[in-house]
Amino acid sequence: MQVIQNQKQANKPIKTYINSCYPSLTKSEQKVADLVLEKMENVMYYSVTDLADMVGVGETTVLRFCRKIGYKAYQEFKLAIAKDQSNAQGEQQENDDENGKHETFISAIAANSISAIQETASMLDEAALEKAIEWIEKARSVHFFGVGTSGLTALDAKNRFLRIGRRTDAVIDSHIQAMTASTLTNEDVVIGLTVSGSTKDTIDSLKIARENGAHIISITYYARSPITKISDIVLLSGGKESPMEGGSLAAKIGQLFVIDLLCTGLALRTKDFSLSMKERTARSVLDKIY
C-alpha cells in the first residue's frame, strides 16, 4: 500500500500533495505546512533545525509532518521539493528563451562561484578563524575528515598544507575515520567537512575524536546542524546546495576558500619556514614537469 501511495505521490507536485493532506494534520503540523507552502523555494536549503525554529515548533513536529505527507525522512522531503523546483526552473528557462531573456550557463555558473566566495567571506567569524589557525599551528597532528565531495576537499586541504611543510592527513573512508579518531588525544585537531552539517559518517567519527579529547573544527554551511553541536569551532562556508545539487561547484568553492584562509593564515604565522618548504616541495616535483 505504501509503495502504491509513494508512486502516486511521485506524480504530483509536492504542493498539491501537502494541500490534500492538510486537513489531517495537527495544528502544529499545519504551521509547518503553511511555511513550506509559502517559502517552498527556500525550504530545500533549510536544515530540520532551521525549519523548526522558523515555524516555532520542535524538530519532532517537522519529522512527523514529513512522515504524514509520505516521506520517511526530512532529507527525502527536501529532495522532493528540489525536484519540483528543478522542474519549475526548467519551465521558466524555456519561457525566458522564447522571450529572448536567455542567460548563458557560463555566466550563471560564474556568478554562482563568485557569490559563494562573497557569501563565505561575509559568514566567517574572524576570531574563530584565528583561533582555528592557532590550534592547527600548535597541534601534534591535524586530520581532515570528509566523505563524498567533501572528501575531495579534504584531500585538497592535505595537499595545500603539505606544501607549507605541515604533515596533515585526509581521511575519507568512514571506517578509517573512526579508527583514526579513536587514537587521538587533546594534542590533536580534527577538521570535519560537510556542507549539510548532517553527514552521519563524518559526525559519528568526530564524536569518537571528541570523546578522546581531540579539538574539533567544522566547516559547514549550516550554523545550526548536528555537526555544530559537537564542534569547538565552527567555520561557515557559503555556496548552499539543494538535495539535487550534491557536490555543486559553488559549495566546494566555499569550502576551498576556508581551507585557503586556514593555510594562508598558518603560512603567515610561520613565514620563513613556510616559504622554505614551498620552495623545497616545488623543487621536489620539478622533474615531473616538461
Please work out, in degrees rounded to the nearest 5, the angle formed at the alpha carbon of residue 65 by the alpha carbons of 84 and 28. 125
Chain-centroid distance, C-alpha 282: 32
> What is the average pLDDT value for the chain, to the nearest integer?
88
pLDDT score for 61 = 96
Q: What is the pTM of this model?
A: 0.79
- Distance from first CA to last CA of the chain, Å, rounded? 64
Q: Does the pLDDT of residue 245 top 90, yes or no?
A: no
**Domain 2-98, second-level architecture:** Orthogonal Bundle (1.10)
The percentage of residues in the chain with a pLDDT greater than 70, rounded to a whole number, is 88
Mean pLDDT of the 80-86 span: 82
Q: Is the pLDDT of residue 95 over 70?
A: no
Instruction: Band the pLDDT of 259: cuts 50, 70, 90.
Output: very high
Residue 244 pLDDT more than 80?
A: no
Domain 123-288: what homologous superfamily? Glucose-6-phosphate isomerase like protein; domain 1 (3.40.50.10490)
31-40, 70-79, 94-103: which has the minimum mean pLDDT? 94-103
Adjacent-strand bridge partners of 216: 190
Domain coordinates in residue numbering, the chain: 2-98, 123-288
Beta strands in the chain (DSSP E): 141-145, 169-171, 188-193, 215-220, 233-236
